[in-house]
Amino acid sequence: MQHHQGRLEVICGCMFSGKSEELLRRVRRAKIAKQRVQIFKPSLDHRYGLGVVSSHDGHQSEAIAIESPLSLLDYLEDETTVVAIDEVQFFDPIVVDVCRHLMETRDMRVIVAGLDLDFRGEPFGAMPRLMAEAEEVDKLHAICVVSGEAATRSQRLVNGNPAHFNEPVIVIGAEEKYEARARSYHEVPGRPEPNLERNGNQVHKPNAPALYKHVLEYVLIDEERLQDRITELADEISSDYADDPDVILVGILKGSVMFMTDLMRRLTVPHVIDFMDVTSYGAGQRETSGNVRILMDLEMSITGRNVLIVEDIIDSGFTLDKVVNLLQARQPKSLKVCTLLNKQERREVPIKLDYVGFDIPNVFVFGYGLDLDQYYRNMPFIGVAKAEAAGQS
Protein backbone atom coordinates (compact mmCIF):
# COMPACT_ATOMS: atom_id res chain seq x y z
CA MET A 1 0.00 0.00 0.00
CA GLN A 2 1.36 3.39 -1.03
CA HIS A 3 1.60 6.03 1.69
CA HIS A 4 1.27 9.70 0.69
CA GLN A 5 3.03 12.46 2.59
CA GLY A 6 1.02 15.28 1.04
CA ARG A 7 -1.45 17.33 3.06
CA LEU A 8 -3.99 20.08 2.53
CA GLU A 9 -4.34 23.07 4.83
CA VAL A 10 -7.32 25.42 4.42
CA ILE A 11 -7.36 28.95 5.79
CA CYS A 12 -10.82 30.46 5.60
CA GLY A 13 -12.95 33.25 6.97
CA CYS A 14 -14.62 36.50 5.98
CA MET A 15 -12.93 39.53 4.47
CA PHE A 16 -10.39 41.34 6.68
CA SER A 17 -9.92 38.24 8.85
CA GLY A 18 -6.24 37.88 7.94
CA LYS A 19 -6.42 34.91 5.57
CA SER A 20 -3.77 36.15 3.16
CA GLU A 21 -1.54 37.23 6.04
CA GLU A 22 -1.76 33.75 7.57
CA LEU A 23 -1.01 32.16 4.21
CA LEU A 24 2.04 34.40 3.78
CA ARG A 25 3.15 33.61 7.34
CA ARG A 26 3.13 29.88 6.56
CA VAL A 27 4.96 30.54 3.30
CA ARG A 28 7.68 32.48 5.15
CA ARG A 29 8.13 29.67 7.67
CA ALA A 30 8.38 27.10 4.87
CA LYS A 31 11.08 29.16 3.19
CA ILE A 32 12.99 29.43 6.48
CA ALA A 33 12.84 25.63 6.56
CA LYS A 34 14.55 25.63 3.12
CA GLN A 35 11.46 24.34 1.35
CA ARG A 36 10.76 25.37 -2.24
CA VAL A 37 7.47 27.29 -2.34
CA GLN A 38 5.37 28.52 -5.24
CA ILE A 39 2.38 30.84 -4.76
CA PHE A 40 -0.57 31.05 -7.14
CA LYS A 41 -3.63 33.31 -7.36
CA PRO A 42 -6.57 33.81 -9.78
CA SER A 43 -5.85 36.33 -12.50
CA LEU A 44 -9.17 38.11 -11.91
CA ASP A 45 -7.88 39.26 -8.51
CA HIS A 46 -5.80 42.27 -9.55
CA ARG A 47 -6.42 44.58 -6.61
CA TYR A 48 -2.71 44.77 -5.72
CA GLY A 49 -1.29 43.80 -9.08
CA LEU A 50 -1.24 40.49 -10.94
CA GLY A 51 2.20 39.35 -9.81
CA VAL A 52 1.77 39.52 -6.04
CA VAL A 53 -0.27 38.20 -3.16
CA SER A 54 -0.88 40.99 -0.67
CA SER A 55 -2.53 41.14 2.73
CA HIS A 56 -4.57 44.10 3.96
CA ASP A 57 -1.76 45.06 6.34
CA GLY A 58 0.69 45.45 3.46
CA HIS A 59 2.73 42.22 3.42
CA GLN A 60 3.41 40.94 -0.09
CA SER A 61 4.98 38.03 -1.89
CA GLU A 62 5.49 37.23 -5.55
CA ALA A 63 2.80 35.02 -7.08
CA ILE A 64 1.81 33.53 -10.41
CA ALA A 65 -1.59 34.67 -11.69
CA ILE A 66 -3.53 31.93 -13.50
CA GLU A 67 -6.97 31.77 -15.10
CA SER A 68 -7.62 28.07 -14.53
CA PRO A 69 -6.46 25.73 -11.75
CA LEU A 70 -5.16 23.40 -14.47
CA SER A 71 -2.69 26.10 -15.53
CA LEU A 72 -0.99 25.69 -12.16
CA LEU A 73 0.42 22.37 -13.35
CA ASP A 74 2.08 24.10 -16.31
CA TYR A 75 4.00 26.46 -14.01
CA LEU A 76 4.89 23.88 -11.37
CA GLU A 77 8.64 23.39 -10.91
CA ASP A 78 10.26 20.03 -10.15
CA GLU A 79 11.89 21.29 -6.94
CA THR A 80 8.66 22.68 -5.46
CA THR A 81 7.46 20.98 -2.27
CA VAL A 82 4.90 23.55 -1.06
CA VAL A 83 2.13 25.11 -3.13
CA ALA A 84 0.15 28.06 -1.75
CA ILE A 85 -3.05 29.31 -3.43
CA ASP A 86 -4.69 32.59 -2.39
CA GLU A 87 -8.34 33.58 -3.10
CA VAL A 88 -9.03 29.96 -3.99
CA GLN A 89 -12.81 30.51 -3.89
CA PHE A 90 -12.63 32.21 -7.29
CA PHE A 91 -11.40 29.06 -9.05
CA ASP A 92 -13.51 26.41 -10.77
CA PRO A 93 -14.38 23.29 -8.73
CA ILE A 94 -11.62 21.41 -10.55
CA VAL A 95 -9.21 23.13 -8.14
CA VAL A 96 -10.14 20.35 -5.68
CA ASP A 97 -8.85 17.70 -8.10
CA VAL A 98 -5.71 19.73 -8.74
CA CYS A 99 -5.01 19.93 -5.00
CA ARG A 100 -5.63 16.20 -4.63
CA HIS A 101 -3.22 15.52 -7.50
CA LEU A 102 -0.52 17.65 -5.85
CA MET A 103 -0.93 15.83 -2.54
CA GLU A 104 -1.35 12.28 -3.72
CA THR A 105 0.81 12.19 -6.84
CA ARG A 106 3.56 14.61 -5.87
CA ASP A 107 3.37 14.37 -2.05
CA MET A 108 3.14 18.14 -1.71
CA ARG A 109 1.99 20.34 1.12
CA VAL A 110 -0.83 22.48 -0.25
CA ILE A 111 -1.96 25.62 1.56
CA VAL A 112 -5.08 27.41 0.32
CA ALA A 113 -6.78 30.57 1.59
CA GLY A 114 -10.19 31.87 0.66
CA LEU A 115 -13.61 33.13 1.64
CA ASP A 116 -15.75 30.32 3.01
CA LEU A 117 -18.95 32.37 2.47
CA ASP A 118 -19.90 34.76 -0.33
CA PHE A 119 -21.55 38.13 0.31
CA ARG A 120 -24.92 36.40 0.63
CA GLY A 121 -23.68 34.19 3.46
CA GLU A 122 -23.76 31.13 1.16
CA PRO A 123 -20.89 28.61 0.75
CA PHE A 124 -18.43 30.02 -1.78
CA GLY A 125 -17.28 28.03 -4.78
CA ALA A 126 -15.17 24.96 -4.06
CA MET A 127 -14.48 25.93 -0.45
CA PRO A 128 -16.86 23.36 1.14
CA ARG A 129 -15.14 20.48 -0.71
CA LEU A 130 -11.69 21.80 0.08
CA MET A 131 -12.55 22.07 3.77
CA ALA A 132 -13.89 18.51 3.72
CA GLU A 133 -10.72 17.20 2.03
CA ALA A 134 -8.29 19.07 4.28
CA GLU A 135 -6.12 17.65 7.05
CA GLU A 136 -6.26 21.04 8.76
CA VAL A 137 -8.86 23.83 8.62
CA ASP A 138 -8.44 27.19 10.33
CA LYS A 139 -11.39 29.59 10.33
CA LEU A 140 -10.28 33.13 11.10
CA HIS A 141 -12.46 35.95 12.35
CA ALA A 142 -12.41 39.68 11.70
CA ILE A 143 -13.90 42.42 13.89
CA CYS A 144 -17.48 43.47 13.16
CA VAL A 145 -17.48 47.18 12.24
CA VAL A 146 -20.92 47.58 13.81
CA SER A 147 -20.73 45.73 17.12
CA GLY A 148 -17.06 44.95 17.72
CA GLU A 149 -17.90 41.23 17.95
CA ALA A 150 -16.11 38.46 16.08
CA ALA A 151 -17.11 38.81 12.42
CA THR A 152 -17.78 35.82 10.16
CA ARG A 153 -19.59 37.52 7.26
CA SER A 154 -18.55 39.81 4.40
CA GLN A 155 -21.02 42.67 3.94
CA ARG A 156 -21.12 43.95 0.36
CA LEU A 157 -22.24 47.58 0.05
CA VAL A 158 -23.18 49.19 -3.26
CA ASN A 159 -23.58 52.97 -3.09
CA GLY A 160 -23.67 52.63 0.68
CA ASN A 161 -26.53 50.10 0.71
CA PRO A 162 -26.44 46.33 1.34
CA ALA A 163 -26.22 44.41 -1.94
CA HIS A 164 -29.34 42.48 -2.92
CA PHE A 165 -29.28 38.67 -2.77
CA ASN A 166 -29.74 38.41 -6.54
CA GLU A 167 -26.67 40.47 -7.40
CA PRO A 168 -23.89 38.44 -9.09
CA VAL A 169 -21.60 36.68 -6.62
CA ILE A 170 -18.49 37.79 -8.52
CA VAL A 171 -18.46 41.31 -9.92
CA ILE A 172 -15.34 42.50 -11.75
CA GLY A 173 -14.59 46.22 -11.75
CA ALA A 174 -17.74 47.23 -9.89
CA GLU A 175 -17.92 50.17 -7.50
CA GLU A 176 -18.46 48.42 -4.24
CA LYS A 177 -17.22 48.25 -0.69
CA TYR A 178 -16.96 45.46 1.85
CA GLU A 179 -17.16 45.38 5.63
CA ALA A 180 -16.68 42.61 8.14
CA ARG A 181 -19.92 41.87 10.02
CA ALA A 182 -21.12 39.52 12.74
CA ARG A 183 -24.00 37.25 11.77
CA SER A 184 -26.64 39.40 13.47
CA TYR A 185 -25.49 42.55 11.60
CA HIS A 186 -25.14 40.94 8.17
CA GLU A 187 -27.79 42.32 5.79
CA VAL A 188 -28.82 40.67 2.50
CA PRO A 189 -32.09 42.10 1.11
CA GLY A 190 -34.08 39.54 -0.84
CA ARG A 191 -32.46 36.50 0.72
CA PRO A 192 -34.95 33.58 0.73
CA GLU A 193 -36.20 32.61 4.16
CA PRO A 194 -35.84 28.95 5.18
CA ASN A 195 -38.98 26.94 4.50
CA LEU A 196 -39.37 24.69 7.53
CA GLU A 197 -42.71 23.20 6.56
CA ARG A 198 -42.40 19.44 6.71
CA ASN A 199 -43.14 17.76 3.44
CA GLY A 200 -40.91 14.75 3.62
CA ASN A 201 -37.74 16.85 3.86
CA GLN A 202 -36.71 20.25 5.09
CA VAL A 203 -36.06 22.46 2.08
CA HIS A 204 -35.04 26.00 1.14
CA LYS A 205 -36.94 28.21 -1.24
CA PRO A 206 -34.90 27.95 -4.43
CA ASN A 207 -33.14 30.96 -5.90
CA ALA A 208 -33.47 29.37 -9.35
CA PRO A 209 -37.10 28.20 -9.73
CA ALA A 210 -37.26 24.49 -10.53
CA LEU A 211 -39.24 25.14 -13.71
CA TYR A 212 -36.23 26.88 -15.26
CA LYS A 213 -33.32 25.12 -13.51
CA HIS A 214 -32.05 23.50 -16.73
CA VAL A 215 -31.41 26.91 -18.35
CA LEU A 216 -31.21 29.35 -15.42
CA GLU A 217 -27.89 30.01 -13.70
CA TYR A 218 -29.31 32.53 -11.22
CA VAL A 219 -31.90 35.28 -10.85
CA LEU A 220 -30.31 38.64 -11.62
CA ILE A 221 -33.29 40.90 -10.88
CA ASP A 222 -36.29 39.46 -9.07
CA GLU A 223 -39.91 40.35 -9.66
CA GLU A 224 -40.19 42.68 -6.68
CA ARG A 225 -37.15 44.74 -7.67
CA LEU A 226 -38.37 44.91 -11.27
CA GLN A 227 -41.79 46.24 -10.35
CA ASP A 228 -40.45 48.68 -7.77
CA ARG A 229 -38.03 50.15 -10.30
CA ILE A 230 -40.71 50.37 -13.02
CA THR A 231 -42.89 52.34 -10.61
CA GLU A 232 -39.99 54.74 -10.02
CA LEU A 233 -39.44 55.14 -13.77
CA ALA A 234 -43.15 55.81 -14.37
CA ASP A 235 -43.18 58.47 -11.66
CA GLU A 236 -40.14 60.15 -13.20
CA ILE A 237 -41.56 60.05 -16.73
CA SER A 238 -44.95 61.32 -15.59
CA SER A 239 -43.28 64.22 -13.81
CA ASP A 240 -41.13 65.12 -16.84
CA TYR A 241 -44.14 65.19 -19.20
CA ALA A 242 -46.60 66.77 -16.74
CA ASP A 243 -46.57 70.15 -18.52
CA ASP A 244 -46.72 68.67 -22.04
CA PRO A 245 -48.58 65.40 -21.58
CA ASP A 246 -49.28 64.16 -25.11
CA VAL A 247 -46.79 61.29 -25.44
CA ILE A 248 -46.37 58.47 -27.95
CA LEU A 249 -44.77 55.38 -26.41
CA VAL A 250 -42.90 53.51 -29.13
CA GLY A 251 -42.26 49.91 -28.10
CA ILE A 252 -39.49 48.02 -29.85
CA LEU A 253 -40.73 44.47 -30.49
CA LYS A 254 -40.68 41.90 -29.14
CA GLY A 255 -38.69 42.19 -25.97
CA SER A 256 -40.16 45.44 -24.67
CA VAL A 257 -43.79 44.25 -24.51
CA MET A 258 -43.92 43.22 -20.85
CA PHE A 259 -41.89 46.21 -19.68
CA MET A 260 -43.96 48.67 -21.73
CA THR A 261 -47.22 47.15 -20.49
CA ASP A 262 -46.27 47.50 -16.83
CA LEU A 263 -44.79 50.94 -17.42
CA MET A 264 -47.88 52.39 -19.11
CA ARG A 265 -50.12 51.05 -16.33
CA ARG A 266 -48.27 53.31 -13.93
CA LEU A 267 -48.05 56.47 -16.07
CA THR A 268 -50.26 59.34 -14.96
CA VAL A 269 -49.97 61.38 -18.18
CA PRO A 270 -52.08 60.86 -21.33
CA HIS A 271 -50.30 58.70 -23.87
CA VAL A 272 -50.81 56.52 -26.92
CA ILE A 273 -48.78 53.53 -28.07
CA ASP A 274 -47.24 52.27 -31.28
CA PHE A 275 -44.69 49.64 -32.17
CA MET A 276 -41.66 49.03 -34.36
CA ASP A 277 -40.01 45.70 -35.12
CA VAL A 278 -36.30 46.22 -35.70
CA THR A 279 -33.46 43.73 -35.72
CA SER A 280 -29.72 43.53 -36.19
CA TYR A 281 -29.67 39.78 -35.50
CA GLY A 282 -30.18 36.98 -37.99
CA ALA A 283 -32.28 33.92 -37.22
CA GLY A 284 -30.69 32.01 -34.33
CA GLN A 285 -27.89 34.55 -33.88
CA ARG A 286 -26.90 35.90 -30.48
CA GLU A 287 -24.37 38.45 -31.70
CA THR A 288 -25.40 41.56 -33.61
CA SER A 289 -24.39 41.75 -37.25
CA GLY A 290 -24.49 45.56 -37.22
CA ASN A 291 -26.85 45.40 -40.20
CA VAL A 292 -30.10 46.91 -38.89
CA ARG A 293 -33.38 46.06 -40.62
CA ILE A 294 -36.83 47.60 -40.08
CA LEU A 295 -39.32 44.73 -40.11
CA MET A 296 -42.37 46.79 -39.09
CA ASP A 297 -42.68 50.59 -38.99
CA LEU A 298 -44.96 52.88 -36.99
CA GLU A 299 -48.59 53.28 -38.02
CA MET A 300 -49.04 56.86 -36.79
CA SER A 301 -47.23 60.09 -37.55
CA ILE A 302 -44.91 61.41 -34.85
CA THR A 303 -44.26 64.81 -36.40
CA GLY A 304 -44.56 67.56 -33.80
CA ARG A 305 -45.28 65.10 -30.96
CA ASN A 306 -43.42 63.88 -27.89
CA VAL A 307 -41.97 60.41 -28.49
CA LEU A 308 -40.60 58.02 -25.87
CA ILE A 309 -38.84 54.94 -27.21
CA VAL A 310 -39.28 51.98 -24.85
CA GLU A 311 -36.60 49.27 -25.08
CA ASP A 312 -35.99 46.08 -23.15
CA ILE A 313 -32.18 46.14 -23.31
CA ILE A 314 -29.44 48.23 -24.89
CA ASP A 315 -26.08 46.57 -25.52
CA SER A 316 -24.05 47.44 -28.66
CA GLY A 317 -26.37 50.36 -29.49
CA PHE A 318 -26.50 49.65 -33.23
CA THR A 319 -30.23 48.99 -33.36
CA LEU A 320 -31.26 51.91 -31.17
CA ASP A 321 -28.96 54.32 -33.02
CA LYS A 322 -30.70 53.41 -36.29
CA VAL A 323 -34.16 53.85 -34.72
CA VAL A 324 -33.27 57.22 -33.16
CA ASN A 325 -31.89 58.59 -36.45
CA LEU A 326 -34.91 57.33 -38.36
CA LEU A 327 -37.42 58.88 -35.94
CA GLN A 328 -35.50 62.15 -35.61
CA ALA A 329 -35.84 62.59 -39.38
CA ARG A 330 -39.62 62.63 -38.90
CA GLN A 331 -39.31 65.79 -36.79
CA PRO A 332 -40.92 64.87 -33.48
CA LYS A 333 -41.33 67.61 -30.88
CA SER A 334 -39.09 65.65 -28.55
CA LEU A 335 -37.48 62.22 -28.61
CA LYS A 336 -36.35 60.36 -25.51
CA VAL A 337 -35.26 56.80 -24.74
CA CYS A 338 -36.29 54.56 -21.84
CA THR A 339 -34.65 51.15 -21.41
CA LEU A 340 -35.22 48.55 -18.75
CA LEU A 341 -31.68 47.15 -18.97
CA ASN A 342 -28.41 48.80 -19.97
CA LYS A 343 -25.39 46.65 -20.77
CA GLN A 344 -22.77 49.40 -20.93
CA GLU A 345 -19.80 47.03 -21.34
CA ARG A 346 -21.13 46.01 -24.75
CA ARG A 347 -21.61 49.54 -26.09
CA GLU A 348 -20.11 50.20 -29.53
CA VAL A 349 -22.24 53.20 -30.54
CA PRO A 350 -22.69 56.19 -28.18
CA ILE A 351 -26.34 56.47 -27.14
CA LYS A 352 -28.09 59.01 -24.93
CA LEU A 353 -30.40 57.20 -22.51
CA ASP A 354 -32.92 59.34 -20.64
CA TYR A 355 -34.37 56.66 -18.37
CA VAL A 356 -32.55 53.48 -17.30
CA GLY A 357 -34.04 50.76 -15.14
CA PHE A 358 -30.91 48.76 -14.33
CA ASP A 359 -27.27 48.76 -15.37
CA ILE A 360 -26.25 45.11 -15.71
CA PRO A 361 -22.99 43.21 -16.30
CA ASN A 362 -22.08 41.57 -19.61
CA VAL A 363 -24.01 38.34 -19.08
CA PHE A 364 -26.67 36.63 -21.21
CA VAL A 365 -30.03 37.57 -19.68
CA PHE A 366 -33.55 36.41 -20.44
CA GLY A 367 -37.05 36.59 -19.01
CA TYR A 368 -39.58 39.39 -18.55
CA GLY A 369 -39.92 39.86 -22.31
CA LEU A 370 -36.38 38.87 -23.26
CA ASP A 371 -36.12 35.51 -24.94
CA LEU A 372 -33.83 32.52 -24.91
CA ASP A 373 -34.30 31.03 -28.38
CA GLN A 374 -37.77 32.70 -28.44
CA TYR A 375 -38.84 31.00 -25.18
CA TYR A 376 -39.07 32.15 -21.52
CA ARG A 377 -40.33 35.66 -22.27
CA ASN A 378 -43.06 34.96 -19.72
CA MET A 379 -40.71 34.68 -16.72
CA PRO A 380 -41.58 37.42 -14.21
CA PHE A 381 -37.91 38.11 -13.42
CA ILE A 382 -34.63 38.68 -15.25
CA GLY A 383 -32.40 35.63 -15.16
CA VAL A 384 -28.86 34.80 -16.28
CA ALA A 385 -28.71 31.84 -18.63
CA LYS A 386 -26.41 28.89 -18.06
CA ALA A 387 -23.43 28.98 -20.41
CA GLU A 388 -24.54 25.88 -22.29
CA ALA A 389 -28.07 27.23 -22.72
CA ALA A 390 -26.71 30.53 -24.04
CA GLY A 391 -24.42 28.76 -26.48
CA GLN A 392 -21.29 29.85 -24.60
CA SER A 393 -20.01 26.45 -23.55
DSSP symbol at 315: S
In a domain, 23, yes or no: yes
Q: How far apart are CA 254 and CA 367, in angstroms?
A: 12
| Burial tier of 102 (Cβ tally within 10 Å: 0-12, 13-18, 19+) | buried
Query: End-to-end distance of the chain based on CA atoms, in angstroms?
Result: 41
In a domain, 100, yes or no: yes
Q: Which of 185, 207, 236 is the last residue of a domain?
A: 185
- This model's pTM is above 0.75: no
- Residue 231 shares a structural domain with residue 369: yes
Q: Return the number of other C-beta atoms located less than 10 Å from residue 43's C-beta.
A: 14
Q: Residue 181 sits in which domain range?
A: 7-185
Contact 73/99 with Cβ under 8 angstroms?
no
pLDDT at 281 (0 to 100): 54
Give CA torsion, residues 61, 66, 69, 72, to 10 deg. -70
- Residue 232 shares a structural domain with residue 134: no
- Residue 121 shares a structural domain with residue 244: no
In a domain, 390, yes or no: no
In a domain, 160, yes or no: yes
- Residue 125 shares a structural domain with residue 240: no
Q: How far apart are CA 335 and CA 93, in angstroms?
A: 49
- Residue 22 shares a structural domain with residue 80: yes
How many domains are contained in the chain?
2
Q: How far apart are CA 172 and CA 163, in angstroms?
A: 15
CATH number of the domain where residue 315 is located: 3.40.50.2020
- Residue 244 shares a structural domain with residue 340: yes
Task: Name 139's bridge partners.
Answer: 12
In a domain, 335, yes or no: yes
- Residue 240 shares a structural domain with residue 317: yes
Is the sign of the CA dihedral 37, 137, 98, 121 positive or negative? negative
pLDDT in 10s for each residue of the chain, 393 residues? 455 689 999 999 999 999 999 999 999 999 999 999 999 999 876 565 566 666 666 677 889 999 889 999 999 999 999 999 999 999 988 999 999 999 999 999 999 999 999 999 999 989 999 999 999 999 999 999 999 999 999 999 988 889 888 777 776 544 568 999 999 999 998 887 665 554 444 434 345 566 677 888 888 888 888 999 999 999 999 999 998 888 999 999 888 999 999 999 999 999 999 999 987 655 444 555 456 778 888 999 999 999 999 999 998 888 889 899 999 999 999 999 999 999 888 888 888 999 999 988 888 999 999 998 888 898 999 998 887 776 654
| Burial tier of 204 (Cβ tally within 10 Å: 0-12, 13-18, 19+) | exposed
- Residue 245 shares a structural domain with residue 367: yes
- Residue 165 shares a structural domain with residue 273: no
In a domain, 213, yes or no: no
Q: Which residues are catalytic?
A: 87
- Residue 21 shares a structural domain with residue 162: yes
- Residue 177 shares a structural domain with residue 29: yes
- Residue 33 shares a structural domain with residue 173: yes
In a domain, 193, yes or no: no
